């Protein structure tokens, strides 16, 4: 029996349509699931036992800054991977301990940030190192790295809460005087961190949220300037969906504390719409500082120093640092 080319083409077309429909349904189901499940369900990961596995001192000479001790630490957890941080502390710490500020900065934040804290005082600064760095992307392939990036991003709140618990128990930490300061990329995680900690009845101190916004999709859109529309909007929406569990909007109403919010009117990376929405949604009490500045950047050390000064004064007024 002869089969016409038309019949073969019809079968192939129906097969392709069926595959497309299945993929569309699977993808649509994933989008609906991610955007409608409880926000905490996507970030509430148990760390298990947390142990200090590496504690290495290193030399760092900074002009006009008092001599301090610098350390790179790694905490090993049972279920959350390794938690890395770098620490700046006075050479002598009293037995009762001193205040600690945990800093969440840019994606590639390193010890250079200590150069911008010109008056560290009798305080300890702990810089959280993200579980993913851009070098992994360049060395890998997108099909492998995208799921790794997603997992790493969703792990950040639980890792930071675990770091906070560990820091709070150290002999060099003064009881009740550990706080957070988030800047730019790092500030976007703080709403999820505070909400997650609150859900476990862990009380956190007032914190600083500088140069953040409320909308991840808008943030991605603002920074995807090399992608043409409408693909830019689609890419931003998909990126937001992949990490929707840390979307600030979903956590802001549950931030049960006091915050300092800082943004700039000339910011080209976080839109006015996004940071004004953040300011509206953060519950009282809050202090809002709006600067006539662009987005913070390592190439703008004076702006960073200004942000550090504003943050330090606010924290000092509340007795959180020396």
Report pLDDT for 235.
81
CATH of the domain at 207: 3.40.50.1820
Q: pLDDT value at position 136?
A: 52
The answer to whether 224 touches 232, Cβ cutoff 8 Å, is yes
**Sorting pLDDT into bands at 50, 70 and 90, what band is 274?**
very high
Which of these ranges, 26-35, 147-156, 298-307, has the smallest mean pLDDT? 26-35
**Claim to verify: residue 78 and residue 220 sit in the same structural domain:** yes
Same domain, 32 and 133: no
Under 8 Å between Cβ of 267 and 275: yes
Range 283-290 average pLDDT:
96
To the nearest whole percent, how much of the chain has pLDDT over 90? 61
What pLDDT is attached to residue 40?
Answer: 95
Residue range 232-236: mean pLDDT, rounded: 82
Same domain, yes or no: 83 and 14: no
d(CA 106, CA 84): 15
CB atoms within 10 A of CB 298: 14
Predicted confidence (pLDDT) at residue 64 exceeds the cutoff of 80: no
Q: How high is the mean pLDDT of the chain?
A: 88
User: What is the DSSP track for 281-297?
Assistant: HSPSSEEEEEES-----
Please give the tally of structural domains in the chain.
2
Residue 278 class from Cβ within 10 Å (0-12 exposed, 13-18 middle, 19+ buried)? buried
Mean pLDDT of 129-138: 68
Q: What is the pLDDT of residue 143?
A: 56
Asked if 115 and 24 sit in the same domain, the reply is no
pLDDT class for 1, splitting at 50, 70, 90? very low
Q: Tell me: the pLDDT tens digits for 134-192?
A: 555 455 555 566 788 889 999 999 999 999 999 999 999 999 999 999 999 999 999 99
Do 267 and 173 share a structural domain? yes
pLDDT band at 65 (very low <50, low <70, confident <90, very high): confident
Q: Which residues contact 210 (CB under 8 A, 6 or more apart)?
A: 181, 182, 183, 184, 187, 260, 261, 262, 263, 296, 307, 311
Range of the domain at 12: 1-36
**pLDDT score for 115:** 80
163 and 302 together in one domain: yes
Q: Note whether 227 and 88 are same-domain residues.
A: yes
Given a cut of 90, is residue 221 above it in pLDDT? no
Residue 208 is assigned to a structural domain of this protein = yes
Tell me: pLDDT of 107 over 60. yes
Residue 96: in which H helix or E strand, if any? none
Which band of pLDDT confidence, cut at 50, 70 and 90, is reported for residue 322?
very high
Run of H or E residues at 209: strand 207-210
pTM of the predicted structure, to 2 decimals: 0.89
For residue 31, cis peptide bond before it (omega within 30 degrees of 0)? no
Position 322 in a domain: no
**Residues 120, 20 share a domain:** no
Give the span between the Cα atoms of 255 and 206, in whole angstroms: 10
24 and 154 share one domain: no
Count the Cβ atoms, other than its own, within 10 Å of residue 170: 13
> Is the same domain home to 16 and 91?
no
Q: Is 71 helix (H, G, I), strand (E, B) or coil?
A: strand
Residues 161 and 28 grouped into a single domain = no
Q: Which residues of 150-161 are buried (b: 16+ CB within 10 A; e: fewer)?
A: bebbbbbbbbbb
Let me know: does 294 contact 267? Beta carbons within 8 Å: yes
Query: Within this chain, do residues 27 and 136 fall inside the same structural domain, yes or no?
Result: no
φ, ψ at 26 (rounded to 5°): -65, -45
Distance CA 162, CA 150 (A): 19
């Amino acid at each position: 029996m002869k089969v016409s080319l038309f019949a073969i083409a019809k079968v192939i077309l129906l097969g392709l349509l069926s595959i497309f429909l299945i993929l569309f349904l699977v993808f649509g189901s994933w989008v609906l699931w991610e955007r409608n499940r409880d926000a905490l369900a996507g970030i509430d990961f148990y760390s298990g036992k947390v142990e200090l596995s590496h504690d290495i001192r290193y030399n760092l000479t900074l002009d006009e800054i008092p001599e301090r001790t610098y350390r790179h630490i790694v905490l090993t957890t049972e279920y959350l991977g390794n938690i890395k941080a770098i620490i700046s502390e006075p050479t002598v710490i009293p037995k009762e301990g001193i205040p600690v500020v945990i800093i969440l900065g840019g994606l590639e934040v390193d010890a250079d940030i200590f150069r911008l804290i010109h008056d560290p005082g009798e305080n300890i600064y702990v810089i959280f190192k993200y579980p993913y760095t851009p070098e992994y992307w360049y060395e890998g392939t997108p099909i492998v790295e995208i799921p790794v990036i997603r997992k790493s991003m969703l792990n950040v709140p639980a890792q930071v809460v675990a770091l906070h618990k560990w820091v709070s128990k150290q002999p060099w930490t003064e009881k009740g005087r550990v706080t957070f300061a988030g800047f730019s990329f790092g500030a976007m995680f703080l709403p999820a961190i505070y909400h997650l900690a609150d859900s476990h009845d862990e009380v956190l101190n007032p914190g600083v949220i500088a140069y953040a916004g409320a909308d991840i999709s808008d943030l991605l859109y603002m920074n995807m300037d090399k992608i043409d529309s409408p693909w830019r909007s689609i890419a931003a929406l998909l990126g937001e969906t992949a990490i929707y569990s840390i979307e600030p909007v979903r956590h802001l109403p549950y931030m049960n504390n006091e915050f300092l919010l800082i943004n700039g009117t000339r910011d080209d990376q976080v839109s006015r719409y996004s940071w004004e929405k953040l300011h509206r949604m953060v519950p009282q009490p809050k202090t809002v500082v709006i600067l006539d500045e662009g987005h913070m950047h390592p190439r703008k050390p004076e702006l960073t120093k200004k942000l550090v000064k504003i943050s330090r004064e606010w924290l000092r007024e509340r007795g959180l640092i020396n």
